[in-house]
Amino acid sequence: MRVWALTTAVMLGAACFSTAHAISLEALGIYRHGTFGQSAAEISAYDPVTKRLFVVNGESDRIDVLDMSDPRRLKLVRHVGLAAFGKTPNSVAIHGDVAAVAVTANDPQAPGNVVFLSTTDFRILSAVTVGAMPDMIAFTPDGKLVVTADEGEPDETYARDPEGSVSIIDVSQGFVLPRVRTARFDAVDRASLAGVRAVGPKQTFAQDAEPEYLAISPDSSTAYVTLQEANAIAVVDLRTARVTDVRGLGFKDWSASALDVSDKDGVNIQPRPVFGVYQPDAIAFFTGPDGAPFLVTANEGDTKAFGEDRYTDEARVSDLRLDAAIPDQDALKRLKALRNMGDANGDGTLDQLYLPGARSISIWDTAGRLVFDSGDMLERKAAELFGTTAFNADHLDHAADARSDDKGPEPEGVAIGVIGARTYAFVCLERQSAIAVFDVTDPRAVTLAAYHSARDLTAAPPAQAAGDMGPEGITLIPAAQSPIGAALLVISNEISSTTRVYAITP
């Protein structure tokens, strides 16, 4: 276990990161759910009344309920099986004495289910049908609605591609007969959208729009939903169940920042003449010092494969036809770029290179305007701490530089919390197997407050001694709800299949 906090200012493009409000993470307890590499720990939710943690176990299609009354000694309370409702539980949320679980159907392209169960005795209260592949679930702050981001991914041949949607479940009258409404994307005009990307070979926007994650406004009226593959954020009016806007996020100019583009050159972080497609996974809502609303995204990136021959929408630059005007082509040849973007004049050669993901977090206002991006900070910090030993390593092993050609550290999960008088964004770095903590109290003057990794480079995966690998889910427990009176951070690691609890010290 290692904890690192910044000790010097680091310049990233135009952003300066300082240590004025550094915090630290102290590892407490750990629970091992299953087999290495089998997604036995994915997403968690905490019940402050019973002091239990509900963890999605994808390997066994169940919820693992852990006793967290002593965070240093996590104990299994019960397994809650969900096989009767589908194939894979994806996400869990808790409000009051009810847990809501999003479950993919046995036929993944068919409508999925949301299962409601008691957090006290684990009785199934009810189940309702929602869109295909409900990927993330949340209660509104007032507890009256449950919202799911229904991803609707295609099958392997792309012959069946359900539409993405957002399901809104009214539980204001209880959980016996909840009412479901659906916000759809079939009225969205793709031609009117800027800063998005086409995903499928000949799909409608409703099929391309694969809702991934959502954040809900404090007044419970609006959901902001990431459409990861399409590089957009959708705005959903929860009162009317309508998609009111889709905001393309545009593209990140890597010539104004820096990245490592090859898995064969060690640490080599430089500006390059390429563009990043933000494609955020997780999103969180927070309020700035003047009361203005903001969104923070973890810009993981994603690609797709089409048809029975598994044609993918990315390729190494060395395998693409490039316009001769693109500079640094030899340095870029190992990089993986998108095949179907960048041919502005339609001559069959790429005039610009677009990469999936942005290797960063971004802060946006709720109109979709970029306020802050962390630039190359995450790669530079990994290079400083891991050097040639494990810089840009994968989550399956410690081999250095393995992910430089392919989305780098992959920021995936994000949680927002107020610690003391300051607001922090806690971010999972899936491939680097690390946690970055940003002070976002002032969204226009963000600082990096801590960087933590619980992987042990002296042991090789899948040995347990190798530590936590592949952080997927992140849950913040405020001090007022914590069993020990201090703020806690819970990380679910899908590759090592572990859940670990940290105490947060300002």
Phi, psi of 285, deg, nearest 5: -105, 140
Give the single-character DSSP code of 350: B
What is the pTM (predicted TM-score) of this model? 0.94
- Of the candidates 240, 202, 238, which has an alpha carbon nearest to the alpha carbon of residue 222? 238
Which residues of 88-231 form beta strands (DSSP E)?
88-95, 98-104, 111-118, 124-132, 134-139, 145-150, 165-170, 179-184, 211-216, 222-227
Is beta strand 498-505 parallel, antiparallel or unpaired with respect to 488-493?
antiparallel
Distance of CA 3 to the CA centre of its chain: 22
Both tokens of 326, joined, read 């693109």
Q: Give yes or no for a contact between 53 and 73, defined as CB atoms under 8 angstroms apart.
A: no
Instruction: Give, for all 506 residues of the chain, the pLDDT tens digit.
Output: 323 232 222 222 223 334 557 899 999 999 999 999 999 999 999 999 999 999 999 999 999 999 999 999 999 999 999 999 999 999 999 999 999 999 999 999 999 999 999 999 999 999 999 999 999 999 999 999 999 999 999 988 888 999 999 999 999 999 998 999 999 999 998 888 999 987 766 778 999 999 999 999 999 999 999 999 999 999 999 999 999 999 999 999 999 999 999 999 999 999 999 999 999 999 999 999 999 999 999 999 999 877 666 678 899 999 999 999 999 999 999 999 999 899 989 999 999 999 999 999 999 999 999 999 999 999 999 999 998 899 999 999 999 999 999 999 999 999 999 999 999 999 999 999 999 999 999 999 999 999 999 999 999 999 999 999 999 999 999 999 999 999 999 999 999 999 999 999 98
Q: In what order do the strands lie in the sheet with 222-227?
A: 211-216, 222-227, 232-237, 242-248
- What is the count of structural domains for the chain? 1
Both tokens of 442, joined, read 């002032």
3-state secondary structure 320-339: CCECCCCCCHHHHCCCEEEC
pLDDT tens-place string over residues 245-291: 999 999 999 999 999 999 999 999 999 999 999 999 999 999 999 99
pLDDT tens-place string over residues 124-147: 999 999 999 999 999 999 999 999
- Of the candidates 332, 302, 300, 336, which has an alpha carbon nearest to the alpha carbon of residue 316? 336
Residues near 191 by beta carbon (within 8 Å), at least 6 away in sequence: none
> Within 10 A of 376 (CB to CB), how many other CB atoms are there?
25
Give the CATH number for residue 323.
2.130.10.10
Sign of CA dihedral 76, 80, 86, 91: negative
> Which domain, by its residues, includes 80?
2-505
Q: Which residues of 447-468 are buried (b: 16+ CB within 10 A; e: fewer)?
A: bbbbbbbbbbeeeebeeeebbb
